[in-house]
Amino acid sequence: MRFSPNAWLSFLLAGACAPLSFAQGTPGGTTGPIGHNDTRVHPGFTMTNLIPAGSPANWPRVGGLDFLPSGDLVVSTWDGFGNSAGTTHPGRVFIFKKVTTGDSTQVTYTQLGANDMNEPLGVKVVDGEIYIIEKDSLVHLVDANKDQVLDSKRRIASGWTRNLGDNSGKDLQFMHGLVRTPAGKFIAGMATRWNGGPVASTGTNANHDGCIISMELTRTDYDVVACGIRSPDGIVIGPEDGIFVTDNNGNYVPASKLVHVKPGRFFNVIHSPASPFDTVPVTRPVLWLPHGNDQTNVSVSPTQPVYLRTGVFKGQMLAGDNNMGTLQRYFLERVGGEYQGAVVRFSGGIRAAAHRIIVGPDSALYVGGIGATNGEWGGWAWASRQHGLQRMKENGQPFFDVLAVRSTSATTFELEFTEPLVSAAASNFTTVQQWGYVPVQTYGAGKQTTETLTLESVVLSADKKKVTLTIPGLKRSNVVHLRWSGLTAESGRPLMTDRTWYTLNEFGPAEVVAVRPEGARARARLLASAQALSDGRLEIHLPAGKAVAVAVYDLRGAVLEAIPSASGRLVTRTAFKPGIYTVVMGSGAERVSRRITVF
């Protein structure tokens, strides 16, 4: 989310979005490239609405999404500032069923718990258990018998709250997230609370504003991973299981950006008191996302990216924006050990600003929308809409699009397309520019002078799917803006992308980065579940037709009960005392663990 420094209780809408008629999103590909706030869906995907008829108005404003092992979708909602118990717009959590059908007439939902969630802007399911990141803590939503009725809320980690000098609850100290690393750490990010110039906060841990933190189930505190971020509304586990975060334009952020978080890194947002890593050299963005709510720019307020491990765009990311009606696509490559790459417009047809995006068990994308009401807290929304929940599934239809944008030397770029071109010439490339950014305190300032470059040559590959551009004068740490027109496919299909912005931190060629698929372990995770019965025994459900070993451990790693071979449903012999246990099912690539609480 991005916010005005001069009106800290309002969001800044950069460029008015006129209301737009909307049904389901129209199929793309009929009139050429996806444009700014386009209503057309990318032709390679089918998008459907998942909100059942008769649902409340302006609902759900999605703050978080994740799937249960059953295939049900957990949705947390964010409905305004200070939305904890007793307020006008409480945060809530819902369970949606049958979303993988893609048919809203079959979708049903139930609310999990009361209207007392404190601005839950992230949700994560681990071993069948639901965790949310609230404004002041990481919380376990306990449903011991898995009947989707909340038994209790259990605080796991906290300690970052402080005295903001504002009793209304309407402050910008958001907690964004929530993702979990393969090592079992929860990752979330704290927004920096601005009120004009550098923030001067008081109270415990005030210097952790703008920091990415990690939390564990076995601890009540947290670790600071990296700092210097303004508003980390999008966090994703990406290539090589790295942590990637989108940050929003504003003070010390001349344009929105995607950064690669590693322990001890600093990303240039300065405040008082100083964060733990202010003296560390600034890490350059993976992507600059040129700012502006018009045809010549690509981002205003980027949200959660999703990393694609399968499909045509495997290894790339899709992300939304709180002020735009399009999804953007991020092409990443690693050069000199660090990531950089290009951003392009990808698809329209979004019901509301795409806030959260995840991949479901059916390999479809699930998009949760969010937006403002002007009378409440003013500011950002795509086409004045406040809510949305959609499914976006590859449909196997051919299309003509830019597949990749690569830096191949100090003077060359390579564009790769999904289909062969008829031809390519210098006259097809209407814009070849570069510029840099120098972050300064002034809100959104720091873009340097735009330089027009000369395109020396254009060479089409033998298979006609790649175009090499020779461009003398390219500079490191610049954004290179390329725009083209008149490129046609041999198939006659229209080109879906007509421009790109490449963040050229270093000159290519890039290093090879393998894209790890979800694999057998992830598939098995959806097929195995466990829960505690009322007498303390554990009920375990395994895939039918294939026997696997099962073991129950305590938190110290001691085996409490072992079952050498089982399939289908089983119940442990042991009635366990109240506590937390780990059930391990299978071995090797299909090893699955579940953490179970006995009450």
For residues 532 and 269, the model is more confident at 269
The DSSP element (H or E) to which 520 belongs, if any, is helix 519-525
Question: Looking at the DSSP assignment, which residues form a beta bridge with residue 597?
Answer: 580
Judged against a pLDDT cut of 70, whether residue 463 lies above it is answered with yes
Task: Tell whether 1 is covered by a domain.
Answer: no
Q: What is the pTM of this model?
A: 0.83
Given this model, what pLDDT does residue 171 score?
57
Judged against a pLDDT cut of 50, whether residue 271 lies above it is answered with yes
Pairing outcome for strands 548-553 and 579-585? antiparallel
For the chain, the domain total comes to 2
For residues 545 and 341, the model is more confident at 341
* Averaged pLDDT score across all residues of the chain: 85
Residue 100 sits in a domain of what CATH number? 2.120.10.30
DSSP assignment of 309-330: -SSTTTT-EEEEETT-SSEEEE
Residue 209 CA to residue 201 CA, distance in Å, equals: 9
Stretch among 14-23, 327-336, 366-375, 513-522 having the lowest mean pLDDT: 14-23
519 three-state secondary structure: helix
Residue with tokens 């120098």: 438
Judged against a pLDDT cut of 90, whether residue 509 lies above it is answered with yes
* Whether 199 contacts 165, CB under 8 Å: no
Cβ-in-10-Å burial (0-12, 13-18, 19+) of 477 comes to: middle
Judged against a pLDDT cut of 80, whether residue 301 lies above it is answered with yes
Residue 469 CA to residue 344 CA, distance in Å, equals: 18
Identify the domain boundary among 342, 362, 394. 394
For residues 542 and 128, the model is more confident at 128
Residue with tokens 């005030």: 206
| pLDDT band with cut points at 50, 70 and 90 for residue 371 | confident
- One-letter amino acid at 317 equals M
Task: Tell whether 222 is covered by a domain.
Answer: yes
Task: Tell whether 471 is covered by a domain.
Answer: no
Residue with tokens 């699009």: 401
Judged against a pLDDT cut of 50, whether residue 553 lies above it is answered with yes
* Whether 193 contacts 164, CB under 8 Å: yes
| pLDDT band with cut points at 50, 70 and 90 for residue 18 | very low
For residues 350 and 329, the model is more confident at 329
Judged against a pLDDT cut of 60, whether residue 4 lies above it is answered with no
Task: Tell whether 332 is covered by a domain.
Answer: yes
Given this model, what pLDDT does residue 206 score?
75
Residue 104 CA to residue 130 CA, distance in Å, equals: 24
Judged against a pLDDT cut of 60, whether residue 136 lies above it is answered with yes
What's the pLDDT tens digit per position in 172-192? 678 998 999 988 899 999 988
Task: Tell whether 488 is covered by a domain.
Answer: no
Given this model, what pLDDT does residue 293 score?
67
**Domain around 590:** 527-598
User: If we measure between CA atoms, which residue out of 307, 322, 295 comes closest to residue 481?
Assistant: 295
Identify the domain boundary among 394, 424, 455. 394
What's the pLDDT tens digit per position in 47-63? 999 999 989 888 899 99
Taking CA atoms, 270 is separated from 96, 243, 278, in Å, by 41, 21, 7
Taking CA atoms, 406 is separated from 13, 340, 368, in Å, by 33, 10, 31
Average pLDDT over residues 73-81: 85
Share of the chain above pLDDT 90, in %: 58
Task: Tell whether 514 is covered by a domain.
Answer: no
Q: What phi-psi label fits residue 418: left (phi over 0), alpha (psi between -120 and 50 degrees) or beta? A: alpha
Judged against a pLDDT cut of 50, whether residue 218 lies above it is answered with yes
Given this model, what pLDDT does residue 161 score?
67
Given this model, what pLDDT does residue 382 score?
72
| pLDDT band with cut points at 50, 70 and 90 for residue 540 | confident
Return all residues near 303 (Cβ < 8 A) that are at least 6 apart.
Answer: 233, 234, 246, 319, 320, 321, 322, 353, 354, 355, 356, 357
Task: Tell whether 148 is covered by a domain.
Answer: yes
Question: Looking at the DSSP assignment, which residues form a beta bridge with residue 410?
Answer: none
* Whether 236 contacts 309, CB under 8 Å: no
| pLDDT band with cut points at 50, 70 and 90 for residue 8 | very low
- One-letter amino acid at 140 equals H
Residue 552 sits in a domain of what CATH number? 2.60.40.10
Stretch among 144-153, 450-459, 512-521 having the lowest mean pLDDT: 512-521
| pLDDT band with cut points at 50, 70 and 90 for residue 5 | very low
Given this model, what pLDDT does residue 196 score?
40
* CA 251-256-257 angle, 5° bins: 120
Q: Tokens for 379, please give them.
A: 């500011």
Pairing outcome for strands 40-41 and 26-27? parallel
User: If we measure between CA atoms, which residue out of 277, 180, 192 comes closest to residue 1?
Assistant: 192
| pLDDT band with cut points at 50, 70 and 90 for residue 207 | confident
Average pLDDT over residues 121-145: 92
User: If we measure between CA atoms, which residue out of 340, 327, 210 comes closest to residue 272?
Assistant: 210
Identify the domain boundary among 370, 394, 418. 394
Pairing outcome for strands 152-158 and 175-180? unpaired
* Whether 450 contacts 421, CB under 8 Å: no
Share of the chain above pLDDT 70, in %: 84
According to DSSP H, which parts of 141-287 are helical?
none
- As a whole number of Å, the end-to-end CA separation of the chain is 39
Task: Tell whether 468 is covered by a domain.
Answer: no
Residue with tokens 């989108």: 246
Q: Tokens for 445, please give them.
A: 């300032």
Percent helix, strand and coil across the chain, each to the nearest 5:
5, 40, 55
Residue 206 CA to residue 333 CA, distance in Å, equals: 36
Cβ-in-10-Å burial (0-12, 13-18, 19+) of 110 comes to: exposed
Given this model, what pLDDT does residue 520 score?
40
What's the pLDDT tens digit per position in 411-431? 999 999 999 999 999 999 999
